[in-house]
Amino acid sequence: MKMRTTLGAALLATTGWATMAAAQTELSMWYHGAGNPQEAEVLNHIVADFNASQSDWNVVVESFPQESYNDSVVAAALAGNLPDIIDVDGPVMPNWAWSGYLQPLQIDESTIENFLPGPKGYWDGELYSIGLWDAAVALVTRQSILDDLGLRTPTLEEPWTLEEFNAALDAAKESGNFEYALDLGMAWTGEWYPYSFSPFLQSFGGDLVDRDTYQTAEGVLNGEEAMAFGDWWQGLFANDLAPGTSQDPAARETGFQDGKYAFSWNGNWAAMNIMNTFEDTVFLPAPDFGNGPKIGAASWQFGVSSASEHPDGASAFIEFALQDEYLAAFSNAIGLIPPTTSSAQMTENYQDGGPMAVFYDLTEAQAMVRPVTPGYVVQAKVFEKALADIANGADVADTLDAAVDEINADIERNAGYGHTE
């Protein structure tokens, strides 16, 4: 009898699952995390929870390697083959929305009221994407280095000024203990340049583009403040304070731990390795170059493709994923910054007193999103080239003027990228 009951229950359960699966509408999702098993595990867990939590939708994930993810999405958009849910890098989102790859999210925005600003993907007044984490950079060093060089430890309330920062670099160089005073990560190309270095320009008072109109870079990328930034930037390399564009990638990976550099401008994703090497690792806030200390913001975010015939289901999944337990799970798995205070308290590293809690505070206090415009994808590449050229000795004024011309020509070619005054 007992056996019969068990078999009956199993049959019922199997039939139930089969019926539920058959009734569920499939939602395809593309994700950039192929090759990252920890990230995949968390995402698959969320997807499994969502699929089991309701009977309308069944999300199926296809993962792509991050390096080629954007090209795959653009090609699929051209071929009319986009999935329902895609993830998108925050600064790229306006371009994809403007290009018609994305549609606005249908989620209750009160859900994200308490989110850090970086993960919220607004374009043209509408929410197109939302991130489950943010990322931050800091000036990494050791307390013993600060003490040996006789330097004040800067704080969020009182970061180093330009003069203090320059003096710190000079002191490190004159100590003779390091190959270079500062590791900027010049070996990392691509988005690293605009993400991590444009905040320096913005702290000087310049920018990639005039954010009032997004119609020109004139005066902001080649104005007085930008020129001051360019001269300072070039001085870092001309005075042998930092390795330039020929930096060995291996030195970027382990140079600070090997004692080659006194300071390293690096992200929270690299923090754990460094902390494991030095017990007295400290993460210092960005210096204030005159217009407030700044660091970059916005990482990968979820959005709904314009091709989706089920934006309600796709949005339902994204809203489901925004629960604190999942935000904390992602943070614990891959070390990125949870987007809410409540989820931060659920993590090992970002809770009050946690080893990386400083990054949450840095993001909250200093983060500035990159220009929210479809033209950013071009502006980022122009800025990257200009910075590399200046680092290699190009004339600052000529280089920035040329960059402005290129950005303005691109904006004009694209009829202003749809910005309304």
Partner 1 sequence: MATISADNHGLRLAVRYVVLTLIAVIFIFPLLFMVMSSLKPSDQLLRDTASLRAFLPVGDIGFDNYTDAFSRAPVGLFVFNSVLVTGVTVLLSLFLCSLAAFSFAFLKWKGRDLLLGIIIATLIVPFETIAIPLLLLVSKLPWIGLEGLQFGWLNTYRVQIIPWIADGLTVFLFVQYFKDLPRELIEAARVEGASWWQIYRRVVMPLAGPVLATAAILKFLVMYNQYLWPLIVVQQESYRPVMVGLQYFFQLDTAWGEIMAYLTIITVPVLAFYLVMQRAFISSIASTGVKG
Nearer to partner 1, 44 or 68 (CB): 68
- How near is the Cβ of 177 to partner 1 at its closest, in Å? 19
Nearer to partner 1, 62 or 174 (CB): 62
Q: Does 161 bind partner 1 (CB under 8 A)?
A: no
Q: Does 79 bind partner 1 (CB under 8 A)?
A: yes
Q: Does 216 bind partner 1 (CB under 8 A)?
A: no
Residues in contact with partner 1, shown as a per-residue x/- string from 45 to 64 under the rule CB under 8 A: -----------------xxx
Q: Does 19 bind partner 1 (CB under 8 A)?
A: no
Q: Does 66 bind partner 1 (CB under 8 A)?
A: yes
| Structure-token match 């007044």, residue found | 125
Helix (H) / strand (E) containing 282: strand 281-284
Going by C-beta distance under 8 Å and a sequence separation of 6 or more, which residues neighbour residue 264?
139, 140, 141, 182, 183, 185, 255, 256, 274
35-43, 114-122, 302-310, 344-352 -> range binding partner 1 (CB under 8 A): 35-43
β-bridge partners, 337: 134
In 132-173, the DSSP E strands lie at: 137-142
How many residues does this entry show for the chain? 421
Considering only residues 243 to 272 of the shown chain, the ones binding partner 1 according to CB under 8 A are 248-250, 253-254, 267, 269-270
- How near is the Cβ of 137 to partner 1 at its closest, in Å? 12
Nearer to partner 1, 40 or 162 (CB): 40
Nearer to partner 1, 32 or 120 (CB): 32
SS3 262: strand
Contact present, 287 and 155 (Cβ < 8 Å): no
Q: For the residues of 328-369, what is the DSSP string, one character each? A: HHHHHHH-PBPSSHHHHHTSTTTSTT-TTHHHHHHHHHHEEE
Contact present, 339 and 132 (Cβ < 8 Å): yes
Structure tokens at 136: 């931050």
Nearer to partner 1, 30 or 302 (CB): 30
Q: Does 70 bind partner 1 (CB under 8 A)?
A: no
* Contact set with partner 1 (CB under 8 A): 30, 34-37, 62-68, 71-72, 75-76, 78-81, 248-250, 253-254, 267, 269-270, 273
